[in-house]
C-alpha cells in the first residue's frame, strides 16, 4: 500500500473509540504513547476467540484446543516476520516490563558479580532502570549512567567513553517515551559488541511508529509491548539471541515450560516455551497477531511518514504559542511532544484540555531521572498516531490557547 494513496480518513474509521465524545465534545486522542487505540479487526479477533474457540493452548487435542493453539502460535509467526527474526527466538511476555525483568533475572542475575557494571542512559523508562537496580543490589554490580544533551539527544561520545571493561550490559531505549528521540541503536550495538557488552533494547515506543529489523540492529535482547502497537494490553515479547535463550535458566516455573517433571528434577522445554509458564493471555496474543496484520497492511513506512507529517504540523503550531516550551527537540524524533505552558501545572493543563475533549498525558511519564535532568516535576505529553488528523492538531492548539487565556 502506497502512502500517497492511503485514505487516512477511512483508516481512522477502523478505530471505533475515536468516534466517541468526551464532555460533549469530539474526542481528540493524543495519548498513543501511553496506549494505542485498537482497530475493529483486533477487537473482532479477541471476540471471535471467546465466542468460537475458547480453549487453553498446547494442552488438548480436541478441536477447540487445536484451533486456539494454531491461532495463538500463528501470532508468534506473524510477529517474527514483522521483526525479521526466527519464531523460536521470540518469548511471549506481558509487555516490555516483563521482558526486561526476564533478562534481568534469567541472564543478569546469574551472570553479574561485584565489580561489574550496568550502563544505562538518562532517558530510560523506569522499566529499564528499576530491574537493573534490583539486580545490582543482589549481585554487587554498579549502575553507570550516560548523559544527554539539552535538546534530548543521547551524548554518544559520553556513552562510548562509559563503555569501560567493567561494563557487562547496556540498556538503552530505541525511542524515548518522553522526548520522542530516536536513538541510533544500530551504531550503539556495534560499539557495545566490539567491547563484549551485552545489549538490551527497549523497543516499546519504536514498534508502533517505524520498521524494526532486529538482525540489522545487532542487539542481544529486544523487548516490546503489544498494546502500544494497536494490540491488546497484557501482551509483548522478548527477542533474544538463541545462544542466550539456550543458556538462561527459566524465570517462572510451572506448566507448559517443562518436558518432564519428577521430584528428583525437571527437564525444561525448549525456548521459547521454557520461559512461558502457565496459561498465557491467549485472546490478547491472538489480538496482537491481528494488530500485526493491520500494521503490515498499512506498511510501517507509510505509518512513519504519516506520523512525521503530524509531528511537523504540531511542532510548528505549538512553537507559535507564547509561553509554551517543548521538552526534547532532537532532529530525529518519533511523533511525541512533551511540553510545558508558563504559569500552568502539567496536571492542571491536562485536566483543562480534557474538558475540551483533548486527551494528553501529564506527569513524569515513568522517567523521574529525565525530569530531574530538565529540572521539572512533570510535563504534558501529546503523542500522535497515524489515525490522528491535521484537524485534530488544530483543535488541540485552539484548546491550548483557550486554556492559556483561562489561566492568565
Active site positions, annotated:
366
Sequence-distant (6+) residues with CB within 8 A of 106 are 248, 249, 250, 251, 275
CA–CA distance, 56 with 69 (Å, rounded to integer): 8
C-alpha separations of 280 from 107, 176, 260, 286, 316 in Å? 22, 29, 20, 11, 44
Residue recorded with cell 512525521: 308
Backbone phi, then psi, for 183, in 5-degree steps?
-85, 145
Tell me the β-bridge partners of 366: none
CA–CA distance, 234 with 164 (Å, rounded to integer): 37
Asked whether the beta carbons of 379 and 346 are under 8 A apart, the reply is yes
CA–CA distance, 29 with 357 (Å, rounded to integer): 8
Tell me the β-bridge partners of 261: 266
Q: Is the peptide bond before 356 cis (omega within 30 degrees of 0)?
A: no
DSSP symbol at 105: I
Which set of grid coordinates corresponds to residue 75?
Answer: 501470532
Amino acid at each position: 500500500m502506497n502512502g500517497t494513496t492511503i485514505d487516512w480518513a477511512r483508516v481512522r474509521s477502523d478505530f471505533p473509540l475515536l468516534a466517541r465524545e468526551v464532555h460533549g465534545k469530539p474526542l481528540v486522542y493524543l495519548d498513543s504513547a501511553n496506549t494505542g487505540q485498537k482497530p475493529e479487526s483486533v477487537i473482532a479477533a479477541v471476540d471471535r476467540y471467546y465466542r468460537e474457540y475458547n480453549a487453553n493452548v498446547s494442552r488438548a487435542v480436541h478441536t477447540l484446543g487445536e484451533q486456539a493453539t494454531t491461532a495463538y502460535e500463528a501470532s508468534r509467526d506473524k510477529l517474527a516476520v514483522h521483526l525479521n527474526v526466527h519464531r523460536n527466538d521470540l518469548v511471549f511476555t506481558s509487555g516490555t516490563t516483563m521482558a526486561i525483568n526476564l533478562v534481568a533475572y534469567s541472564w543478569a542475575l546469574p551472570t553479574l558479580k561485584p565489580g561489574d557494571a550496568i550502563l544505562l542512559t538518562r532517558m530510560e523508562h523506569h522499566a529499564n532502570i528499576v530491574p537493573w537496580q534490583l539486580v545490582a543490589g543482589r549481585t554487587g554490580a554498579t549502575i553507570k549512567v550516560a548523559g544527554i544533551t539539552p535538546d534530548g539527544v543521547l551524548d554518544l561520545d559520553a556513552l562510548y567513553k562509559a563503555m569501560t571493561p567493567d561494563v557487562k550490559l547496556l540498556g538503552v531505549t530505541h525511542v524515548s517515551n518522553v522526548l520522542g528521540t530516536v536513538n541510533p541503536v544500530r551504531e550503539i550495538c556495534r560499539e557495545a559488541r566490539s567491547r563484549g557488552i551485552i545489549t538490551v533494547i527497549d523497543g516499546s515506543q519504536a514498534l508502533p511508529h517505524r520498521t524494526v529489523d532486529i538482525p540489522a540492529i545487532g542487539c542481544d535482547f529486544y523487548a516490546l509491548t503489544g498494546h502500544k502497537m494497536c494490540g491488546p494490553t497484557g501482551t509483548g515479547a522478548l527477542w533474544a539471541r538463541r545462544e542466550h535463550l539456550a543458556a538462561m535458566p527459566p524465570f517462572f516455573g510451572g506448566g507448559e515450560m517443562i518436558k518432564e517433571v519428577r521430584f528428583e528434577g525437571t527437564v525444561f522445554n525448549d525456548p521459547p516455551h521454557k520461559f512461558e509458564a502457565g496459561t498465557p493471555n491467549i485472546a490478547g496474543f491472538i489480538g496482537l497477531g491481528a494488530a500485526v496484520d493491520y500494521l503490515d497492511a498499512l506498511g510501517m513506512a507509510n505509518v512513519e511518514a504519516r506520523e512525521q507529517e503530524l509531528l511537523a504540523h504540531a511542532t510548528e503550531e505549538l512553537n507559535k504559542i507564547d509561553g509554551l516550551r517543548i521538552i526534547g527537540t532532537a532532529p530525529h524524533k518519533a511523533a511525541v511532544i512533551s511540553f510545558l505552558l508558563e504559569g500552568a501545572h502539567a496536571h492542571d493543563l491536562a485536566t483543562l484540555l480534557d474538558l475540551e475533549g483533548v486527551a494528553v498525558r501529564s506527569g513524569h511519564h515513568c522517567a523521574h531521572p529525565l525530569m530531574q535532568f530538565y529540572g521539572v516535576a512533570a510535563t504534558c505529553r501529546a503523542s500522535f498516531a497515524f489515525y490522528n488528523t491535521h484537524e485534530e492538531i488544530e483543535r488541540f492548539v485552539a484548546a491550548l490557547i483557550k486554556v492559556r487565556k483561562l489561566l492568565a
